[in-house]
């Protein structure tokens, strides 16, 4: 007997080993349950973070724009009657008021990690007789690329732009037959013209965006969308994407801007994710419960089987606490062994998943990872669940009257 | 008093107290055991011998009366204190050996020391080896109790009862389940420990020839001690 291991642990191991078949069955049962939980958790977590990353990589977490000019009633005749005279506004681009100052303030907020002003608007491009209406995005590359990773989406040329450079989408390039190095003629409704040079072609993974978006420098865009010196929006990214709502509210309350957080603009996406998380949690809890009940029922039987031995131990001076712990430890060991088996099984399931679940082109959907943290948590939780499940049988064992127990 | 290991005064035990079927099993037992005594407890089946032994062994509590072990009154002790006192001062030998099959013979002998200390140590193992040698089972020390004969198992149980060097060993029909030769061996072993160590024994037995070889015979009939003490 090892002198560093407490009596309860030694005895628990011996008892489990003596009933090896019973022990193996329940450990396998626990392992199957744990593997389902681990595999499903890993799958859903990866799926969700993958979707999240896709959503986040293509858009800013907060978009600031000029406040809405609301139409106001001009005359109020009495408490219940209003003459609604709506003033029609000239269709005209407005800039965010004092945007340079606002950008400086935002850049200094510790929770914000990127601030990118943008001047955007509609324009036309022409090539020969072909004309296409496009969306011109005037950006400051260094800042904008920290929010939307255009360099990673380049299929041709370079994402570095300056002066009269432009980046166009893959589909637009195919549509009107343009390549890197070609000239691009851009004009707007008020008759301003520019000739730009295509320095690269991107693929945003979305045909609409690839057809419509043309990325140019802030300066170029300002001239083409009637926003000289102004910006139509400011993109903001945070250290914690989930703080977007709160930060957006704070910005709105302090500055004359409208702020849309990605959480609001992607509400449906979040609803779907939450539904998924809830159903996942339900499944996880039911599996965990049935695993715990399995451990408990095996130990209840074991206490009955060992009644006489419990009596002997008590006669030899074992305390109620020692008997209690002897059975709690058995529950914990079963939980621990089951979790180890479960994680191994989950790994196996993962190997199959990677083999089976592939995109049409043979690449994997997305990477699933069982992190060391998941291993550790699984072991800790399964052990705790085993101990908890053992509580009722262990209390029964500790409460056995030694006289009755010895009689058997 | 100082040399008395056990003092029982007016011990009563009743079951189903305050119900219509209340039955008193022990009707006021007075009994003293001196240090080093080797006593037989005899009496017909159902007379209350096991009940008395369980009370003396602090496994059960009397309904009334006082019980002192080595001069220490046990009436005021709580369950934890009773368990501790039992583990340190009392050894048990049961009729059906009652070894724990998941442990080897040696580990079974270590068990009373192990539950007391919580951890195994070398001294415990040496003591258990010494005791197993005394009962002639050194060769069997690493066997599980399942692979031993009834007589061998009972010798292991005797060694186990002596592990903590108790003041009092209580044996409930220790030879009742053994053949004559094994019964002799087991009895002789206990007698030998008694003479060499001065350990006090109280042995329930139906075997009159063995009872006659004890220092004293106490007879229980219908829950009361019969004849002279
Ligand atoms: N838990 C109990 N409830 C009621 N009666 C009991 C209980 N335990 C023992 N008895 C009764 O006490 C009497 C004495 O039993 P016991 O001490 O085992 O006798 P012995 O060991 O002398 O054969 C018996 O009649 C038995 O039926
Ligand atoms: Mg009896």
* Region A71-98 average pLDDT: 64
Q: Do residue A225 and residue A313 come from a single domain?
A: no
Give yes or no for residue A398 having a pLDDT over 60.
yes
B80 in contact with A at a CB cutoff of 8 Å?
yes
Q: How many domains does chain A have?
A: 2
Cα–Cα distance measured from residue B72 to residue B79, given in angstroms and rounded to the nearest whole number: 15
Among B18, B25, B170, which is best to mutate for testing ligand 1, by the most ligand atoms less than 8 A from CB? B25
Ligand 1 neighbourhood includes B25 CB (under 6 angstroms): yes
Residues of chain B with C-beta less than 8 angstroms from the C-beta of A18: 101-102
Q: How far apart are the first and last CA of chain B?
A: 16
- CA gyration radius, chain A: 33
Ligand 1 neighbourhood includes B15 CB (under 6 angstroms): yes
Pick the residue from chain B with its C-alpha nearest to A2.
Answer: B120
Q: Do residue A318 and residue A342 come from a single domain?
A: yes
Q: Angle at the Cα of B25 (from B21 to B29), degrees rounded to 5?
A: 145
Question: Interhelix angle for A307-315 vs A267-305, to 10°?
Answer: 70
pTM: 0.76
Would A91 be classed as within a structural domain?
Answer: no
Range of the domain at A26: 7-55+270-407
Q: Do residue A106 and residue A243 come from a single domain?
A: yes
Q: Do residue A235 and residue A105 come from a single domain?
A: yes
Ligand 1 neighbourhood includes B50 CB (under 6 angstroms): yes
CA of B51 to the centre of ligand 1 (A): 6
Per-residue tokens: A102: 């606002």
Cα–Cα distance measured from residue A114 to residue A235, given in angstroms and rounded to the nearest whole number: 8
Q: How many domains does chain B have?
A: 1
Per-residue tokens: B34: 């001196």
Per-residue tokens: A314: 């008590």
Task: Tell which atom from ligand 1 comes closest to the C-alpha of B43.
Answer: 22
Give yes or no for residue A91 having a pLDDT over 70.
no
Q: Angle at the Cα of A220 (from A215 to A224), degrees rounded to 5?
A: 95
Q: Do residue A375 and residue A399 come from a single domain?
A: yes
What is the model's pLDDT at position B21?
A: 87
CB contact under 8 Å between A319 and B59, yes or no, is no
Would A215 be classed as within a structural domain?
Answer: yes
**Given its phi and psi angles, is residue B35 left (phi above 0), alpha (psi -120 to 50 degrees) or beta?**
beta
Specify the residue with its C-alpha closest to ligand 1, atom 8. B51
The residue from A221, A256, A291 where one domain ends is A256
What pairs with residue B31 in β-bridges? Answer: B8
Would B99 be classed as within a structural domain?
Answer: yes
Per-residue tokens: B187: 């009895």
Q: Angle at the Cα of B135 (from B129 to B137), degrees rounded to 5?
A: 65
Range of the domain at B173: 38-61+80-228
Q: Do residue A128 and residue A219 come from a single domain?
A: yes
Is the Cβ–Cβ distance between A280 and B75 less than 8 Å? no
- CA gyration radius, chain B: 17
Confidence of residue A407 (pLDDT cuts 50, 70, 90): confident
Would B130 be classed as within a structural domain?
Answer: yes
Q: Do residue A116 and residue A238 come from a single domain?
A: yes
Task: Tell which atom from ligand 1 comes closest to the C-alpha of B53.
Answer: 17
Question: Interhelix angle for A267-305 vs A372-389, to 10°?
Answer: 40
For residue B146, the distance in angstroms to the closest alpha carbon of chain A comes to 12
Residues of chain A with C-beta less than 8 angstroms from the C-beta of B111: 313, 316
Ligand 1 neighbourhood includes B80 CB (under 6 angstroms): no
Instruction: Count CA atoms within 13 Å of residue B58 on its CB side.
Output: 32
Would A265 be classed as within a structural domain?
Answer: no
For residue A292, the distance in angstroms to the closest alpha carbon of chain B comes to 25
Protein residues within 5 Å, CB atom, of ion ligand 2? B 50
Q: Angle at the Cα of B208 (from B206 to B210), degrees rounded to 5?
A: 95
Q: Which ligand is nearest to the CA of B221?
A: 1
Give yes or no for residue A179 having a pLDDT over 80.
yes
CB contact under 8 Å between B119 and A4, yes or no, is yes
What pairs with residue A120 in β-bridges? Answer: A137
CB contact under 8 Å between B112 and A317, yes or no, is yes
pLDDT 10s digits, B95-145: 887 899 999 999 999 999 999 999 999 999 999 999 999 889 999 999 988
A6 in contact with B at a CB cutoff of 8 Å?
yes
Would B23 be classed as within a structural domain?
Answer: no
Cα–Cα distance measured from residue B11 to residue B29, given in angstroms and rounded to the nearest whole number: 5
Confidence of residue A83 (pLDDT cuts 50, 70, 90): low
Please, what sign has the CA dihedral across residues A20, A23, A29, A33? negative
| Assembly ipTM | 0.92
Residue B225 burial (10 A CB sphere; 0-12, 13-18, 19+): buried
What is the model's pLDDT at position A189?
A: 83
Would A263 be classed as within a structural domain?
Answer: no
Q: Do residue A225 and residue A369 come from a single domain?
A: no
**What part of A 167-196 touches B (C-beta under 8 Å)?**
none
What is the model's pLDDT at position B227?
A: 66
How would you write B35-90 as a 3-class SS string? Answer: CCCEEEEECCCCCCHHHHHHHHCCCCCCCEEEEEECCEECCCCCHHHHHHHHHHHE
Would A68 be classed as within a structural domain?
Answer: no
Q: Is B1 helix (H, G, I), strand (E, B) or coil?
A: coil
pLDDT 10s digits, B165-212: 999 999 999 988 888 988 998 899 899 999 999 999 999 999 999 999
The percent helix, strand, coil of chain B (3-state, each to 5) is: 40, 30, 35
| Cα A210 to chain centroid, rounded | 25
Would A353 be classed as within a structural domain?
Answer: yes
Ligand 1 neighbourhood includes B199 CB (under 6 angstroms): no
Pick the residue from chain A with its C-alpha nearest to B50.
Answer: A403
Would B191 be classed as within a structural domain?
Answer: yes
CA of B162 to the centre of ligand 2 (A): 22
Would A83 be classed as within a structural domain?
Answer: no
CA of B25 to the centre of ligand 1 (A): 7
CA of B69 to the centre of ligand 2 (A): 22
Q: Is A93 helix (H, G, I), strand (E, B) or coil?
A: coil
Mean per-residue pLDDT over chain A, rounded: 88
pLDDT 10s digits, A127-141: 888 899 999 999 999
B141: domain CATH number is 3.40.50.300
Q: Do residue A142 and residue A229 come from a single domain?
A: yes
List the one residue out of A111, A209, A204 whose CA is nearest residue A149: A204
The residue from A211, A230, A256 where one domain ends is A256
């Amino acid at each position: 007997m090892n002198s560093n291991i407490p009596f309860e642990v030694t005895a628990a191991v011996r008892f489990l080993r003596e009933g090896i078949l019973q022990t193996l069955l329940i450990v396998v049962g626990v392992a199957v349950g744990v593997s389902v939980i681990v595999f499903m958790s890993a799958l859903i977590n990866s799926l969700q973070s993958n979707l999240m990353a896709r959503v986040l990589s293509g858009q800013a977490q907060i978009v600031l724009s000029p406040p809405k000019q609301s139409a106001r009633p001009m005359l109020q005749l009495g408490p219940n009657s209003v003459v609604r005279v709506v003033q029609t506004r000239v269709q005209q681009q407005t800039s965010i008021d004092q945007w340079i100052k606002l950008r400086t303030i935002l850049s200094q907020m510790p929770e914000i990690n990127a601030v990118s002003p943008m001047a955007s608007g509609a324009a036309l491009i022409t090539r020969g007789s072909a004309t296409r209406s496009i969306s011109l995005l005037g950006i400051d590359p260094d800042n904008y690329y920290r929010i939307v990773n255009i360099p990673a989406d380049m299929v041709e040329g370079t994402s570095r732009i300056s002066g009269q450079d432009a980046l166009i989408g893959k589909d637009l390039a195919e549509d009107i037959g343009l390549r890197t190095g070609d000239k691009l003629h851009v004009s707007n409704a008020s008759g301003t013209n520019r000739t730009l040079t295509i320095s690269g072609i991107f693929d945003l993974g979305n045909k609409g965006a690839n057809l419509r978006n043309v990325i140019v420098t802030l300066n170029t865009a300002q001239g083409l969308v009637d926003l000289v010196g102004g910006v139509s929006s400011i993109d903001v990214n945070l250290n914690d994407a989930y703080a977007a709502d709160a930060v957006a509210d704070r910005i709105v309350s302090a500055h004359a801007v409208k702020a849309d957080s990605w959480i609001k603009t992607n509400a449906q996406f979040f609803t779907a994710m939450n539904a998924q998380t809830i159903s996942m949690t339900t499944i996880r809890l039911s599996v965990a419960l049935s695993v715990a009940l399995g451990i408990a029922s095996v130990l209840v039987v074991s206490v009955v089987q060992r009644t006489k031995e419990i009596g002997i131990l008590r006669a030899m001076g074992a305390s109620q606490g020692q008997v209690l712990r002897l059975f709690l430890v058995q529950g914990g060991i079963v939980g621990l062994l089951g979790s180890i088996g479960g994680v191994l099984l989950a790994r196996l399931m993962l190997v199959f998943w990677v083999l089976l679940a592939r995109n049409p082109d043979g690449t994997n959907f997305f990477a699933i990872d069982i992190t060391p943290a998941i291993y550790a948590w699984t072991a800790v939780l399964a052990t705790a669940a085993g101990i908890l499940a053992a509580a009722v049988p262990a209390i029964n064992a500790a409460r056995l009257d030694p006289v009755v127990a010895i009689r058997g | 008093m100082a040399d008395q290991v056990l003092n029982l005064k007016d011990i009563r035990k009743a079951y189903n107290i305050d119900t219509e079927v209340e039955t008193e099993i022990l009707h006021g037992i007075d009994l003293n055991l001196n240090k080093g005594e080797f006593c037989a407890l005899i009496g017909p089946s159902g007379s209350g011998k096991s009940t008395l032994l369980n009370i003396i062994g602090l496994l059960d509590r009397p309904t009334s009366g006082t019980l002192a072990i080595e001069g220490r009154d046990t009436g005021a002790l709580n369950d934890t204190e009773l368990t501790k006192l039992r583990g340190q001062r009392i050894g048990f030998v049961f009729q059906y050996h009652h070894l724990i099959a998941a442990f080897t013979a040696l580990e079974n002998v270590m068990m009373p020391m192990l539950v007391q200390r919580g951890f195994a140590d070398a001294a415990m193992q040496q003591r258990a080896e010494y005791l197993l040698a005394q009962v002639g089972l050194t060769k069997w020390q690493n066997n599980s109790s399942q692979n031993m004969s009834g007589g061998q198992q009972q010798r292991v149980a005797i060694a186990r009862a002596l592990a903590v060097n108790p003041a009092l060993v209580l044996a409930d029909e220790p030879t009742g389940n053994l053949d004559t030769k094994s019964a002799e061996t087991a009895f002789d072993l206990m007698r030998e420990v008694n003479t060499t160590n001065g350990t006090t024994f109280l042995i329930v037995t139906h075997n009159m020839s063995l009872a006659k070889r004890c220092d004293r015979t106490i007879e229980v009939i219908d829950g009361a001690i019969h004849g002279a003490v």
